[in-house]
Every structure is written in C-alpha cells, then in structure tokens.
C-alpha cells in the first residue's frame, strides 16, 4: 500500500504541538472573555439526528452535511454548526432554568465545503448565545463578547470591522418598496450575494426572482451600497415598521457604544446571513482589509427553540471560527511565539549519576517545574544542544566531581551565567527565584 493511502483527508487538520499551542492560545482567549461576560460552558454530541438540520439551518448547510445511516438505521449527521444542538439541549431543559441563559461552547464542526482559503471541512467555532431575552441589550451584549474576544487576541478597530444589520429592518424596507412577503426570502437570497455578483446581475435577479420593479430594485441597491441610517430614515421614514426597526437598531448601537465597541461597528444592510433561522439583528465580523472570509457571524433567532419542540424563547448569539481567525492573526503578525520552553534540562555526565539526576527531576517536578533530561547516554555538547531544542531556561549539570561534593552547576541559558548550588538546597533555592 502506498503511503499516500494514509494521507490526511482533504480539508482536515493535524495539530502538531506548534499548531496545538496556537489553538490553545485562541481557545484560552475565548474562554477568558466568555467568563468575564458571565457565560457558562456547555457541549453536546458531535453526531446528531439529520432532521435537526433539515429546514432549520437552510439549504446551504444541508448541502454540506456529512450524513449517513447508522447501524441502527438512524439518519444522522456530524454537526455542521452548534445552534440547532443548543436549541435541542435547551428544548429539553429550559423550562426549569432561570432566564436569561448565557452559555458558550467551542465545538468542532464538520461541513463538506469546496476548499478555499479560510474554508476547511472541519473547524472549531466559539459559540456564545443568550437565550430568553428579546431586548436589544442581549444583542449588544453578544456582539460585545465577540469583539472583546478579538481584542483579547490583540485585534482593534483598525484590524476588524463588525458589519451589522437587521433582517426586520430589511423586511420593512422591502415592504416599503412594495415587495410581497412571499418574495422576501428570494430578495434576501439575492441581497446576501450582492457583493459577490455584478450589479447588473443583482438588478436582474431582484426583478426576476423577487418580483421587484426596476425602479424599486435600483433604490434598494443604492441603499445597500452606500445607505446609512439617516438615508433609510429619509427614504422610508413614514413607514411605521421601518421607523420601529430603526429605533431599536439605534438603541442597539447606543448600547454597543456604552460597552466600548462603537469604533468597531459599521451599519451595512448587505449583511443578511445565509442561515435560515435569523429573525432580527444580524452581524458578521471581517478583517478590515477585506481579504478574508468572515471571522464571525451571528444574530437573533427567536423562533428556533420552538421549531425544535421547546418552549418559545427568544435567542441571540454568534459563531467565531478558528480557521479564519488564525489566518488573520498570522497575516497581522499577532500570533505568539510558540517555541517549547521547559524550566530545567538536567545534563548527566556519566551514567552512574542517572539515578541522582532522576531523583532531582522528580523533586523539581513535584515542586511544579517542567523538567527534561537525556533518555540515553550522550556527549555534553549534544546534551546542551538538546537543552536548546527544549527551550530550557536553565541547565543543571550533574558531573562526578561536583556531585561528589554534593553540588551541581546551574547555567542560565539566556544570560550564560553559571553558579554552583548545593544539591540538598537546589530545589528550594531555584524554586524560590
């Protein structure tokens, strides 16, 4: 069998220690920020009933499912996103829980995507959701968590932008433009693609698929391209649903300002989100240079819990993917140095001293330090090379003459400074520094 028969599947990743250290760096920031905002961690199974995703997630994700029939004849799917699982978990238990529910998770998700930069077939996603609060304060809180997570990793408003919109506002605008409610889904579909298709094609699709007049389609496209909140108010101010949606939206922006994230936010009606369940404010966070896919996406989904058989509860949340985020951090040179680093390397000169060296290693490890030593007899030069490879901060040299006197030489690898320390007091003396 050729070795390539065992190659990793396309779109999947191995995490050798360096990559694993970066993953831990990102997960560490996510966990710290979630806790600062009083979210509690949960998880669910990676395999779910296929039905959980059909209709609820929308065509795009359903077309990318890893789905199969299990040995018991059940139709199952690897989870492509966490939100339906969250809805399912809460459908079973939310009645007895105090609201709002603030939960976060970092699941590994699976989507059979066409491979391109930032898209893999497996990724980790930070999910943060508030369930049981319908007001915009919950919408502001979750976007603040997302942006603080990025800030924790060293990204500011010059690096990432949150593009925010509201599906209710967009629906009210469509209504103001005479689009029948039956055609809203089709119009949303075209709007979702506006940035990725030529303007002429968008105009054509808005008239063909959403039944809009050319004039209405033109007004809509201009608003999408450069409209700010004032333009929307001027054009549709008299429409009560637009006015109501705008008031809520402005309150939301005010809260984000108060939370310290105003500088990250851009109003952008082109953000509708591909997933089927969103019902209100929606957002996506992108790199400011616009080179990568979205780092994060989310919004309000007030009907999903009911759809999976739970009590009707309003909900809002987001998912932030590790793939795009790590690429962005790498592009901006904000990833930490992940070179290994042990506290001590014990160099053993002469195998007779090995038991003494191992005893010292045990004492240092018991005191909480990380310690490595050569697993076989080696020349001193090689041992110092190994210490360097381990990123050792100090090398303790166990040599016959010194050990005979009850001492060892300790070298600080950064400064090169050496001193002789009594073996009896070595652990206490070094640990105390």
Give residues in contact with ligand HAM (CB under 6 A). 81-83, 111, 113, 118-120, 123, 125, 127, 129, 275, 294-298, 317-319, 321, 323-324
Three-state SS for 398?
strand
Helix residue spans in 135-284 (DSSP H): 136-152, 167-176, 184-193, 199-210, 214-226, 229-236, 240-258
Minimum Å gap between C-beta 215 and ligand HAM is: 33
Alpha-carbon distance 337 to 324, whole Å?
19
Three-state SS for 32?
helix
Minimum Å gap between C-beta 86 and ligand HAM is: 7
**Residues forming a β-bridge with 349:** none
Q: Are strands 296-300 and 315-321 parallel, antiparallel or unpaired?
A: antiparallel
Minimum Å gap between C-beta 40 and ligand HAM is: 16
Whether residue 132 contacts residue 101, with contact meaning beta carbons closer than 8 Å, is answered with yes
Minimum Å gap between C-beta 27 and ligand HAM is: 15
Minimum Å gap between C-beta 162 and ligand HAM is: 12
- Nearer residue to ligand HAM within complex by CB, 293 or 356: 293
- Nearer residue to ligand HAM within complex by CB, 41 or 389: 41
- Nearer residue to ligand HAM within complex by CB, 83 or 202: 83
Minimum Å gap between C-beta 196 and ligand HAM is: 15
- Nearer residue to ligand HAM within complex by CB, 111 or 161: 111
Residue with tokens 């961690």: 41
- Nearer residue to ligand HAM within complex by CB, 102 or 111: 111
For 377, half-sphere exposure in the C-beta direction (CA atoms, 13 angstrom radius) is 6
- Nearer residue to ligand HAM within complex by CB, 227 or 298: 298
- Nearer residue to ligand HAM within complex by CB, 65 or 246: 65
Q: How many helices (H) and strands (E) does the chain have?
A: 16, 17
Whether residue 160 contacts residue 295, with contact meaning beta carbons closer than 8 Å, is answered with yes
Alpha-carbon distance 255 to 134, whole Å?
15
Minimum Å gap between C-beta 364 and ligand HAM is: 42
Whether residue 40 contacts residue 104, with contact meaning beta carbons closer than 8 Å, is answered with yes
The CB-nearest residue to ligand HAM is: 321
Minimum Å gap between C-beta 75 and ligand HAM is: 21
Residue with tokens 């492509």: 80
Minimum Å gap between C-beta 121 and ligand HAM is: 7
For 196, half-sphere exposure in the C-beta direction (CA atoms, 13 angstrom radius) is 7
Q: What is the DSSP string of 320-366?
A: EEHHHHHHHHHHTT-PPP-----SEEEEESSGGGHHHHHHHHHHHHH
Distance of CA 269 to the CA centre of its chain: 24
- Nearer residue to ligand HAM within complex by CB, 163 or 411: 163
Q: Which helix (H) or strand (E) holds 300?
A: strand 296-300
- Nearer residue to ligand HAM within complex by CB, 264 or 373: 264
Minimum Å gap between C-beta 150 and ligand HAM is: 12
Task: Give which of 235, 81, 90 is closest to 169, Cα–Cα.
Answer: 235
Alpha-carbon distance 196 to 189, whole Å?
12
Whether residue 307 contacts residue 277, with contact meaning beta carbons closer than 8 Å, is answered with yes
- Nearer residue to ligand HAM within complex by CB, 296 or 313: 296
Phi, psi of 364 (to 5 degrees): -65, -40
């Amino acid at each position: 069998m050729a070795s390539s028969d065992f190659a990793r599947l396309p779109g999947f990743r191995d995490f050798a220690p360096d990559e694993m250290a970066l993953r831990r760096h990102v997960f560490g920031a996510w966990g710290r920020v979630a806790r600062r905002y009083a979210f509690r961690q949960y998880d669910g199974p990676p395999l779910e009933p296929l039905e959980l995703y059909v209709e609820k997630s929308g065509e795009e994700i359903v077309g990318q499912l890893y789905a199969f029939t299990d040995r018991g004849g059940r139709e199952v799917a690897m989870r492509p996103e966490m939100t339906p699982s969250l809805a399912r978990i809460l459908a079973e238990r939310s009645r007895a829980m105090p609201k709002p529910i603030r939960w976060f998770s970092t699941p590994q998700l699976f989507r059979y995507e066409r491979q391109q930069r930032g898209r893999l077939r497996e990724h980790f996603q930070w999910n943060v959701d508030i369930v049981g609060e319908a007001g915009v304060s919950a919408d502001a809180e979750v976007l603040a968590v997302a942006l603080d997570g990025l800030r924790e990793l060293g990204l500011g408003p010059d690096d990432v932008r949150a593009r925010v919109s509201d599906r209710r506002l967009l629906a009210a605008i469509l209504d103001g433009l005479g689009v029948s409610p039956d055609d809203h889904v089709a119009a949303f579909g075209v709007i979702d693609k506006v940035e990725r298709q030529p303007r002429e094609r968008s105009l054509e699709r808005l008239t063909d698929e959403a039944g809009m007049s050319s004039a209405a389609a033109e007004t809509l496209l201009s608003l999408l391209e450069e409209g700010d909140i004032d333009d929307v108010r001027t054009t549709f101010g008299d429409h009560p649903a637009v006015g109501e949606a705008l008031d809520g939206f402005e309150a939301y922006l005010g809260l984000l300002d108060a939370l310290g994230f105003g500088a990250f936010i851009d109003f952008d009606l082109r953000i509708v989100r591909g997933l089927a369940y969103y019902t209100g404010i929606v957002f996506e966070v992108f790199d400011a240079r616009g080179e990568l896919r979205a780092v994060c996406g989310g919004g309000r989904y007030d009907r999903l819990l009911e759809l999976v058989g739970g009590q009707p509860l309003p909900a809002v949340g987001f998912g932030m993917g590790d793939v795009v985020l790590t690429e962005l951090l790498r592009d901006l040179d904000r990833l930490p140095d992940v070179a290994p680093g042990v506290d001590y390397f014990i160099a053993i000169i002469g195998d007779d001293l090995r038991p003494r060296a191992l005893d010292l290693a045990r004492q240092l490890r018991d005191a909480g330090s990380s310690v490595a030593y050569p697993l076989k007899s080696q020349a001193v030069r090689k041992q110092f090379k190994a210490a360097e490879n381990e990123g050792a901060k100090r090398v303790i040299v166990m040599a016959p003459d010194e050990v005979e006197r009850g001492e060892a030489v300790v070298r600080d690898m950064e400064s090169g400074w050496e001193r002789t320390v009594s073996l009896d007091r070595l652990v206490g003396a070094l640990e105390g520094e």
